[in-house]
Amino acid sequence: MSTATTTETNLAFVLRAIKDVAFEDRPVPRLRDEHEVRVHVAQTGICGSDVHYWQRGRIGDFVLNSPIILGHESSGTVVEVGSKVTNLKVGDRVAIEPGVPCRRCNYCRAGSYNLCNDTIFAATPPWDGTLAKYYTVASDYCYKIPDHMNMEEAAMVEPVSVAVQICKVADIRAHQTVVVFGAGPIGVLSQAVAKASGAKKVIAVDIFKARLEFAKSFAADETFLPPGAEPGTDPVEHSEKIAHDIKEQFGLGEGADVVLECTGAAPCIQAGVNVAKKGGMYVQAGMGKENVVFPITMACIRALTIKGSIRYSVGWYPNAVDLVASGKVDVKRLITNRFKFEEAEKAFELVKAAEEGVFKVIIEGVQ
């Protein structure tokens, strides 16, 4: 077992209040029980939720009321293990699953621990995240990575797990047609996982041409760039037209078997419901405005199955490790920008700007 020295500190990137971030020397975190490990964080990806807390201070019921360390998409090296840890040892390189549930509630016992109300989830108020030198976590929520995987790939396991969850919720099967709204990181990863799940045709929809070009080279079979609405056009009618054009252009007949909505934008939600076939599956994964106009009549008369997707559940993290390790999902291609730890605020500013050519931004850990 390795232990921290009394003089060592834990440099961290802290969200103090809305739009107020700073570097702080925090105490080195101690193991909370004998089943935990302490990890020296190597790489951390920036997620939209991190930016959301930084800019708005809340996501749904999760409200920033006190400072938290940001970051939750991380990898690292185990530097300390609890006395009852058997699956890991000091020196192991791991992908960190950032949400540890209570393990006792009905959701956890049913295998849906992503719904646990008492989950300790990194960088979700009031819990600290992983953008620090050290992070402590339950040992069974760290996954040893194979030797040929690097730490950047291991950090990318987290968003891949989100995409695995989305596709598992959708119950994607062989020979299905899948339309994915959004060609950002989660959108293109969902396209890749859908293909790996046996989908016959995956169509990516986005308003940015560069993102669609990347999606086509990454996993999508076809892409669709929606035309802009004419002045004075009713937004809902325009969304209906987009859905009609997608079905016609790609020969979908009555519609797609599965629709994955990964943007949270109202026009995409409306078009998505309209592009699904009768009896089809619609999964809402993107989060935008908390309330939008939803075409509920169309959803009813088409007898759609509508589901929400959040985080990931039993088995999806190791599944994501396997997808990355096997090369079925080439996450290295998504990383467009890399920053040193001391440049963390600059990295966040870049993600906030949402430039067309920026996909995934990675921050190197404290050395």
Q: What is the mean pLDDT of residues 201-216?
A: 97
173 and 109 co-located in one domain: no
Helix (H) or strand (E) holding 74: strand 73-81
Are 39 and 145 members of one domain? Answer: yes
> Span 123-150, mean pLDDT?
98
Considering the domain architecture, whether residues 38 and 137 belong to the same structural domain is answered as yes
Number of domains in the chain: 2
Q: Tell me which residue of 43, 46, 314 sits closest to 153, measured CA to CA.
A: 43
Residue 7: pLDDT band with limits 50, 70, 90: low
Give the CATH number, domain containing residue 179: 3.40.50.720
CB burial of residue 207 (10 Å; 0-12, 13-18, 19+): middle
Per-residue DSSP letter, 132: B
Residue 300 pLDDT class (50, 70, 90 cuts): very high
Q: Are residues 141 and 211 in the same domain?
A: no
Are both 14 and 147 inside the same structural domain?
yes
Amino acid at 213: E
Backbone angles phi, psi at 352, to 5 degrees: -60, -35
Asked, for residue 218, whether it belongs to a domain, the answer is yes
In this structure, is residue 207 part of a structural domain? yes
179 and 290 fall within a common domain: yes
Tell me which residue of 271, 252, 293 sits closest to 205, measured CA to CA: 271
Residue range 93-110: average pLDDT?
97
Q: What is the pLDDT of residue 3?
A: 57
pLDDT averaged over every residue in the chain: 96
**Is residue 193 assigned to a domain?**
yes
Domain range for 146 is 10-155+330-364
Residues 87 and 19 in one domain: yes
In a domain, 321, yes or no: no
pLDDT band at 362 (very low <50, low <70, confident <90, very high): very high
Q: Is 301 found in the same domain as 273?
A: yes
The answer for residues whose C-beta is within 8 angstroms of residue 342's C-beta and 6 or more apart is 23
Q: Stretch 117-128: mean pLDDT, rounded?
A: 96
In a domain, 4, yes or no: no
Model confidence over 302-358: pLDDT tens digits? 999 999 999 999 999 999 999 999 999 999 999 999 999 999 999 999 999 988 889
144 and 92 fall within a common domain: yes
In a domain, 316, yes or no: no
Same domain as 18, residue 151:
yes
What pLDDT, on a 0 to 100 scale, did the predictor assign at position 223? 98
pLDDT at 288 over 90: no
- Has residue 227 been placed in a domain? yes
Residues 231-279 pLDDT 10s: 989 999 999 999 999 999 999 999 999 999 999 999 999 999 999 999 9
The DSSP secondary structure of 141-186, one letter per residue, reads GEEEPPTT--HHHHHTHHHHHHHHHHHHHHT--TT-EEEEE--SHH
pLDDT in tens, 62-72: 999 999 999 99
CATH at 57: 3.90.180.10
Asked if 187 and 87 sit in the same domain, the reply is: no
- Contacts of residue 327, defined as CB under 8 A and 6 or more positions apart, other chains included, come to none
151-42-111 Cα angle (round to 5): 70
- Looking at residues 116-122, what average pLDDT do you find? 96
pLDDT band at 289 (very low <50, low <70, confident <90, very high): confident
pLDDT surpasses 80 at 5 = no
pLDDT at residue 2 in the model: 52
pLDDT at position 1, please?
55
Residues 207 and 130 reside in one and the same domain: no
CA dihedral 79, 148, 152, 87 (to 10 degrees): -40
Instruction: Indicate whether 2 belongs to any domain.
Output: no
